Amino acid sequence: MLNKNNLSLTLVEFAPEWENADHNLNFLSRLLLGTGPTDIIVLPEMFNTGFSMNSAKIAECMNGKTVNWMKEFSLNNSKAICGSIAVFENYNYFNRFIFVNNGEVCACYDKHHLFSYGGENKNYSSGSRQIYFNFKGWKIFPTICYDLRFPVWNRNTENYDLLLNVASWPDNRIDVWDTLLKARAIENMSYVCGVNRTGMDFMNLNYSGHSSVVSPTGTLLKLNKINNFLFQQLIEKSEIHLWRNKYKFLDDRDSFKWI
């Protein structure tokens, strides 16, 4: 049994087949049998379809096949699973992060910063609020891809322990991805886990993964490679307490409120 003060993360890098949820879910069903003991399986942004702007075609309801697949997987394998998909709800389309455990949806977050350069703001609605949730004693803050660029949104006013970012971050800007993951960890004194896809999408953009776990001091942790798609890392709550108690940088945060 895993120590309750530690958390085992499995990061999944793969190339989703474009707008083909059935294929991608079948692939993941086979792939994830090889994860072994772990607490959370983290999938990339829009893992079931790829980062498509064809929201009317790919979006599902919350009782659709992808969420039901996540529920069934978590229940049958005693593991939490999360990632983002396109969701249709209340006549709007959202890029939604979904966290499932024990066959139940435990948390949802709708992407706030829509990638206007790629037209996401024209095809999806922006989420209006941050979400924090607790899992096995860890306070987790989920974000999606482009959110990572905005430090105010990620600002650790709630003393979260782990920032999760699921992404479709192309290779031509991968140095920015690497830098921002470390920056968010350092300034927030939290672990940061970023999971990015691989392969080439329908727009001929290439993705090279670079999924990472960064410590509260900004150290890039060496992942345990299971195979070409699966990587694991154990993170420790004591590491957070050590540095926050020693330096207390978060006590010196500026105080301000959203207007």
Task: Tell me the HSE value of 179 on the side-chain side, using a 13 A CA sphere.
Answer: 6
Task: State pLDDT tens for residues 145-178.
Answer: 999 999 999 999 999 999 999 999 999 999 999 9
The answer to whether residue 224 sits within a structural domain is yes
Is pLDDT of 13 > 70? Answer: yes
User: How many other CB atoms sit within 10 Å of the CB of residue 128?
Assistant: 7
Which of 121, 156, 115, 122 has its CA nearest to residue 139? 156
13, 45, 60, 120: which is the annotated catalytic residue? Answer: 45
13, 79, 108, 111: which is the annotated catalytic residue? Answer: 111
Q: CATH number of the domain that 37 lies in?
A: 3.60.110.10
The answer to whether residue 190 sits within a structural domain is yes
Residue 86 · residue 93 · CB < 8 Å: yes
Task: Please give the model's pTM, rounded to 2 decimal places.
Answer: 0.96
Tokens of 37: 């003991």
Q: What is the span of the domain harbouring residue 55? A: 10-247
225 SS3 class? strand
Which of 78, 8, 84 has its CA nearest to residue 49? 84
13, 60, 82, 145: which is the annotated catalytic residue? Answer: 145
Check if 111 is active-site.
Answer: yes
DSSP 8-state assignment for residue 57: H
The answer to whether residue 70 sits within a structural domain is yes
Domain count, the chain: 1
Beta strands 162-167 and 138-144 are parallel
The answer to whether residue 87 sits within a structural domain is yes
Distance CA 68, CA 64 (A): 6
Tokens of 143: 């974000």
The answer to whether residue 253 sits within a structural domain is no
The answer to whether residue 255 sits within a structural domain is no
The answer to whether residue 38 sits within a structural domain is yes
Which of 143, 208, 237 has its CA nearest to residue 181? 143
Task: State pLDDT tens for residues 76-123.
Answer: 999 999 999 999 999 999 999 999 999 999 999 999 999 999 999 999
The answer to whether residue 257 sits within a structural domain is no
Check if 19 is active-site.
Answer: no
